[in-house]
Amino acid sequence: MYCVRLLLLLCLLAASCPAQAQQYNFRSWTLEQGLPQSQITAILQDGQGFLWLGTRGGLSRFDGIDFHNYTERDGLPSHNISTLFQDSQQRLWIGTASAGVAVYDGSGFRQMGTAEGLPASQIHAISEDSLGRIWLATSQGAYYQSKGKFRLYEALPKGAYTAICHAPGGTLWAGTREKGLYKVDGGQVSRYTVYNSALPGNGITALSVAPGGTLWIGTDKGPAKMQDGSITAPPLPRVVSAPTVSSFAHDRHGNVWIGLLRNGLLKYDGEKYTHLTRLNGLRTPRISSLTADTEGNIWIGTNGYGLQQYKSPWFVHYFDFGSMSEPRITALACDSSGTMWMGTDEGKFASMRRNRPVWRTGTPWPDGTTLYGIYPRNRRERWICSSNGIWLMRQDTTLHYSTAHGLPSPEVFQAAADTASTLWVATAAGLAYFQNSVFVPVASPTGAAAKVNCVFRDSRGNIWAGTEDAIYRVEDRKLVSPPELGQLDFSEVRSITEDKMGNLYFSGFNQGILMLASNGARLFTAEDGLPTVAINTLFVDGQDNLWVATSRNVLKLRLPQLRRNGRLNYRTYASQNGFRGLEVCDNAMTQSPDGTMWFGTTKGLTQYIPSLDRRNAIYPKVMLTDVMLYSKPTDWQALGYATDSVTGLPQNLRLPYTQNYLSFDFHAICLSGPEQVRYRYRLMGFDGQWSPPVEQSFTTYANLSPGTYTFELLARNNDGFWATEPVTYTFSIVPPIWRREWFVGVLLLVAAGSVLSVVRLRERSLVKMNSLLEMRVSHRTRLLERKNREKEMLLQEIHHRVKNNLQIVISMLNLQARHVQDPQAADVMQALRSRVRSMSILHERLYQLAEQDSINLEEYFEEICESLYAAYGVSNRRIALEIDMPQLKVNIDPAITLGLIVNELVSNALKYGFPDGKPGVLRIELRKHDEVQYTLTVSDNGRGMPPDFDPGNSRSFGLKLVKSLSRKLQGDIKFITDNGTKSILHFVLAP
C-alpha cells in the first residue's frame, strides 16, 4: 500500500513539473542562407576576421552576412574538406579527405600532393612549428614541410594520425587513431595510452592547446587535459552517454568548449561542465567542429544541420514548459527568502527553485484568469492580483476578495503595503485599501472612477498611485496631486520605481520617463536620447541601474551619470544581442538576491546574468571591397590597371578627367552583430567632413574635379566601438591636356613669343607717336599754365577787392562809431567791426597764399584773436592766449563760419570774463575724432557766467549767431561754467 501511494505521489509531481530546459542564444545558418553543404567539418577565423568553413561540398568564406563559396572550379582540389589551418604568413591551408592539401594565398589555390612528396590523400590535421614548418597528420603518418617538399617524420611510427599540434615551447603532440598520444620533445618520444595514463581512450580525435599552455585531448571516450606533466579527465555529466570528442574551442574568458560527435556541446569553466543539447537551443547533438572568434562568440559546425553561433550568454530563456509553449508571463516577484514567483495570463502559477520553475496544480482561481501581479508580503503569505479579484495565499489557506468585499473593480493590477501594514491595491476603477477584511475605495480628486495602473511605496513611506490621468500621492488616505510636479501634464502612468538616493521614476506610455528628485521634476523624451517614449515598465536593480522596458526592447540605464549631469547613458538589449523575449509585460521585472534580473515577457521568462555581460570592445575589421566606375562592376585589368592580388582593387589608380564618377563598396566584419554595424566616410580633397553614421555599405562621388583624393572609412561594431584608424585608398583624376602644366607652359611660351613680336612692332610706331604727343603735350601744357596763372591772378584780385571792400566797411563803422554816444550802441558797432574783421582776415590770407581754396585754421584763429586783442586793448601779458589744434586746412565756407563763432566767443571772453584788468588765460582747443567729426573748445579762467544766466533763453545776438552758425556745421554747442567759461562745439566738416 505504501508503494502504491509513493508511486501516485511521484506521478503527481511529474505532472506538476513538466519537462523544461534553459534556452541559450543560438543563431543558425543552413543551405537556405548560402552554405554550400550542411556538414561543417572545420571552422577557422583568419586575420582579417573572415570565418572559413570546410564542408563536404567545398570551402566557404563567411563575413557574418554572406557566404562566398569555393569549389573545384575555383581551383580547390576536392570538395571534401577535412581540416583548416592558417599559418604565420596568413596563408590558408586546406586539408581534404581525398586529394591531399592545398594552400590559398588570397589569389588562388595551389595543390600539394605526390609531386611535393606527400603520398597521403587524407589529411586530418595541420600545425606549424616555431621554425615556420607545416606539419600534417595523415592516414599514412606524420609529415612536415622542408624546402617546399613534404617529408615523413620518421621519429614517429607509421600509422594513421588523426590530430597534431605544437605547444608554445616547441613540443610536438600527435594523436593516433588507435595507439594513443605521442609527445616529441627535444628528439625524445613519449607515448600515452589508457594503460600508462588517465587517457579515457586510445583513439585520439582532437588536440588543442589552451592560451595558458594546457593541452586538451579529445578521445573516443571523452576529453582529458595534460597539465604540469600529468593527464587528468574531469568527470563528465551523467547525461553524457556518447562522449566522443570532435573538436575544441577556447573563448576569451577562459572557458573550454568541447564538441561531442553525437552528444551535444560541453562548456568547462575550470570547475564543472555545462551540457548543452537540443533542449538548450542546439539544432542537433552532432557536433563536428568548433571555433571561438575574437569577439567571444562560439561557432559550431554540425553534421548535417549547418552552422550555429552561440552568443550573448548573459541572457537565458525559459520559453517551453512542457505542454506550455511560450507562455505570457504577466506577473513576477521575488520574496524575502529569494524565491521567485510568477504567473501567466492563463492563470498558471509557479515558483522558481534552482532556476527551475515548479508549476502549481489546483490553483484556486478559475482557468483563464490573468495574473497581473504578485506581492509577497512575507514568507507565509502572498497577495495575487488578477482579473478575478485579489487572492491571499497562505500555507494552509487561501482567501478570495472581489467587488463583494469592496473592491472598485474585479481587475486588480498591483498591491503594496504602507508603513502601517495597510494594503493598497490598484484596480481598473480606482485605488482601494484593505481594512477590517474589506476594501475601502479612495475617491479620485476629479470625482470620476479612474483606472489605476500601479501603486508603489517609496523609502519615505509614501504611497504613490499611477493612473490613466495623472500621478497622485496618498495623504490622509486621500489622493492628492503632488505640488512638486507643478503644472506638468503626465498621464497613462504604467510603472513607478525608486533609486537608492530616493529619486522616483514614473513611466508614461508614449510620454517618456519622469524623474522626481529633491530639486524638482524632469521629463526625459526622445529629444533627450530615449530611443522610444513607449515605456511599459521601470525597475531599479541593486547595481544602481534603471531598467526600462519599452514596446520593442529593454534598456539598462546608468543612474549615477543621470543624477550627475542629467544625461542618458544606456545599453540597449534586443533580439540582436540576446534579448529574445520581445516585449516585457507590465511590471514584470524583478531581481533575485544573487543579482540576476528576471523578465516576464510575451514569450516566457528571461534571465539576465550580469556577471556574464561583456561589451564587444573588438573593433570591426574594415575593408574596401570594390571601386567601380559609374556604379557598375569594373574590370580594372582590362582597362590596363594593375590590381592587388588579395583585395582585387586597382593600384596607383589615375583616371582621366572623363572618368570622374566613382563608387566605393566596403564591408566591416563584426560577427557579434553584423546588422548593427555602422559606417562613416569622407573623401579628402573633396570634403573634409565625416559623413553621419550610415547603415549602407556603399557610397558614390560624381563629377570629381581633377586632383588627388583619399577615401577614408571607419566602422562601428554592435556595441558602439569605432575603429581607431581609418582604411584609406588614394587615387587621382588626371586633368585634360589643356589643363596640364607642361601644356600650359608651352602655351605661355608661344604667347610670350607672340607678345614680344607684337611689342617690338608696336615699339617702333609708339616711338613716333610719343614724339608727336610730347610736342602736343608741351604746347598744351604751356597754354594751361598761362590760363592757370591768369585764373590765380584773377582770384587773388577778387580776394583783394573783397578784402578792400571789407576794410572800407570797417572804416565806415569806425567813423560811425565816433559819433555814437550810447555805450550799448558803441558795443554793437564794436561787435560788427570784429565780425567783419574776421571775414576780412580770411580773404586777406587767401589773397596772400598760393592755394586759393583752403586756409590754415590755426593761423586764421591767431589773426582773429590778435585783431580782437587789439580792438579791446588787451595785451597777451594780461590775458594769455593758448591755441591747441592740429594742422588743419579747411574750405572757405566752413572757415568763415568757424571764424565768426571764434570771434563771438573770444569777444565775450575779453569783454566779460576779466573785469577790472584782471589777468587770466584764454584757450582755444580743437580735437579731431574721425574723418568728419570735430570738437572746438573755447575756454577762459575768468569769472564765468552769472549763476542765473541761461544760454538757451538768452537774448544776446552774439549767442544767437553762434547757435545759428553751429547748425550750419551740423553741430551743437553747449556752455559750462567751471572756474571760468567753457564753450564746447561739436561739429562736422564734410570732406
Q: Please give, one letter per residue, the 3-state secondary structure of 953-966.
A: HCCCHHHHHHHHHH
The burial class, CB within 10 Å (0-12 / 13-18 / 19+), for 522 is middle
Q: Which three cell numbers stand for residue 155?
A: 621519429
pLDDT digits (tens, 9 = 90+) for 488-536: 889 999 999 999 999 999 999 999 999 999 989 999 999 999 999 999 9
pLDDT digits (tens, 9 = 90+) for 235-292: 999 999 999 999 999 998 899 999 999 999 999 999 999 999 999 999 999 999 999 9
Q: What are the DSSP calls for 551-583, one per residue?
A: SS-EEEEEHHHHHHHS---EEEE-GGGT--S-S
Q: What integer pLDDT is reported at residue 4 of this predicted model? A: 35
Can you tell me the distance from the alpha carbon of 935 to that of 988, in angstroms, rounded to the nearest whole number?
Answer: 9
pLDDT digits (tens, 9 = 90+) for 314-367: 999 999 887 788 899 999 999 988 899 999 999 999 998 777 888 888 899 999
Q: Which residue's entry shows cell 599540434?
A: 165
The burial class, CB within 10 Å (0-12 / 13-18 / 19+), for 340 is buried
pLDDT digits (tens, 9 = 90+) for 83-105: 999 999 999 999 999 999 999 99
**Dihedral angle computed from the Cα positions of residues 14, 18, 24 and 29, in that order, rounded to the nearest 10 degrees:** 120
Strand partners, 392: 383, 399
Supply the mean pLDDT for the chain: 88
pLDDT of 588 strictly over 70: yes
The residue-averaged pLDDT of 26-35 equals: 95
- The pLDDT confidence band at residue 17, using thresholds 50, 70 and 90, is very low
The residue-averaged pLDDT of 950-979 equals: 78
Q: Which three cell numbers stand for residue 469?
A: 490621468
Can you tell me the distance from the alpha carbon of 212 to that of 255, in angstroms, rounded to the nearest whole number?
Answer: 11
Can you tell me the distance from the alpha carbon of 148 to that of 142, in angstroms, rounded to the nearest whole number?
Answer: 16
**String of b and e for 922-955 (b: at least 16 CB within 10 Å)?**
bbbebeeeeeeebebbbbbbbbbbeeeeebeeee
Q: What integer pLDDT is reported at residue 852 of this predicted model? A: 52
Determine which of 124-138, 554-568, 583-597, 800-814 has the lowest per-residue pLDDT on average.
800-814
- The pLDDT confidence band at residue 1, using thresholds 50, 70 and 90, is very low
Q: What integer pLDDT is reported at residue 842 of this predicted model? A: 54
pLDDT of 2 strictly over 50: no
Q: Which residue's entry shows cell 591636356?
A: 737
Supply φ then ψ for residue 912, to 5 degrees.
-115, -15
The residue-averaged pLDDT of 300-311 equals: 96
Can you tell me the distance from the alpha carbon of 574 to that of 576, in angstroms, rounded to the nearest whole number?
Answer: 5
Determine which of 300-309, 471-480, 503-512, 575-584 has the lowest per-residue pLDDT on average.
575-584
Q: What integer pLDDT is reported at residue 354 of this predicted model? A: 75
pLDDT of 845 strictly over 70: no
Distances (CA, A) of 507 to 158, 173, 608, 885: 73, 61, 22, 78
Can you tell me the distance from the alpha carbon of 284 to that of 264, in angstroms, rounded to the nearest whole number?
Answer: 7
Q: What integer pLDDT is reported at residue 548 of this predicted model? A: 97
pLDDT digits (tens, 9 = 90+) for 906-918: 888 878 888 878 8
Q: What integer pLDDT is reported at residue 15 of this predicted model? A: 37
Q: Does the predicted model carry a pTM greater than 0.75?
A: no
